[in-house]
Amino acid sequence: MAPAAALAHEETGQAAGFLAGLSHPVSGLDHVLAMVAVGLWGAVLGPPAIWVLPVAFPLVMALGGLMGLLGIPVPGVEIGIAVSAIVLGAMVLAEARPSLWIAAAIVAFFAIFHGHAHGRELPEGTSALLYSLGFVVATGLLHAVGILLGGAHRWAVGRRAVRVAGGGVAAAGLFFLWRAIA
Amino acid sequence: MATAAFRGMVALFALVAAPAHAHLVETGFGAFYDGIAHVAVTPADLLVVVALALLAGQCGTQAARYALFALPVAWLVGGAVGARWLSAAALPLLTTLSFAIAGSLVALNARIRDVGVAALAIAAGLLHGLVNGATMVPGGSAGLALGGAVCAIFFLMAILAAEVTALPAGWPRIVVRVAGSWIAASGLLMFGWLVRAAG
pLDDT of residue A5: 40
**In angstroms, rounded to a whole number, what is the distance separating the alpha carbons of residues A169 and A158?**
16
pLDDT of residue B90: 66
Q: How sure is the predictor about A155, in pLDDT bands with cuts at 50, 70 and 90? A: confident
Q: Is any Cβ of chain B less than 8 angstroms from the Cβ of A68? A: yes
3-state SS, one letter per residue, for A129-160? HHHHHHHHHHHHHHHHHHHHHHHHHHCHHHHH
Q: How sure is the predictor about A94, in pLDDT bands with cuts at 50, 70 and 90? A: very high
A9·B26 Cβ contact <8 A: yes
Count of alpha carbons within 13 angstroms of residue B163, beta-carbon side: 13
**Which of helix, strand or coil describes residue A125?**
coil
Write out residues in chain B with pLDDT < 70, as ranges. Answer: 1-25, 27-28, 86-90, 137-141
Residues of B with CB under 8 A from a CB of A: 25-26, 28, 41, 43-44, 47, 96, 104, 107, 174, 177-178, 181-182, 184-196
Between helix B92-107 and helix B43-58 the angle, nearest 10°, is 30
For chain A, the farthest-separated pair of C-alpha atoms sits apart, in whole angstroms, at 76
Convert the pLDDT of each residue in B140-167 to its tens digit. Answer: 667 888 899 999 999 999 999 999 999 9
Q: What is the mean pLDDT of residues A85-97?
A: 93
Nearest to A59 among B96, B184, B192 (CB): B184
ipTM comes to 0.82
Residues on chain B touching A24 (C-beta within 8 angstroms): none
User: Could you tell me if B20 and B88 are in contact, meaning their C-beta atoms sit under 8 angstroms apart?
Assistant: yes
A83 has a pLDDT exceeding 90: yes
Q: How sure is the predictor about A7, in pLDDT bands with cuts at 50, 70 and 90? A: very low
Convert the pLDDT of each residue in A64-73 to its tens digit. Answer: 989 988 888 8
Question: Chain B residue with minimal CA distance to A6?
Answer: B26
**In angstroms, rounded to a whole number, what is the distance separating the alpha carbons of residues B22 and B42?**
9
A163 has a pLDDT exceeding 60: yes
Convert the pLDDT of each residue in A108-152 to its tens digit. Answer: 999 999 988 876 676 666 788 888 899 899 999 999 999 999 888
Higher per-residue pLDDT: A155 or B100: B100
Handedness of CA B83, B86, B89, B91 (dihedral sign): negative
Cβ partners under 8 Å of residue B120, min gap 6: B52, B55, B67, B101, B102, B105, B112
Residues on chain A touching B191 (C-beta within 8 angstroms): 66
Give the rounded distance of the alpha carbon of A152 from its chain centre. 21
pLDDT of residue A6: 39
Counting beta carbons within 10 angstroms of the beta carbon of residue A171, is it exposed (0 to 12), middle (13 to 18) or buried (19 or more)? middle
Q: Taking CB atoms and an 8 Å cut-off, how many pairs form between chains A and B? A: 89
Q: What is the mean pLDDT of residues A45-62?
A: 86
A132 CA: distance to closest CA in chain B (Å):
5
pLDDT of residue B140: 63
A61 CA: distance to closest CA in chain B (Å):
8
Q: How sure is the predictor about A3, in pLDDT bands with cuts at 50, 70 and 90? A: very low
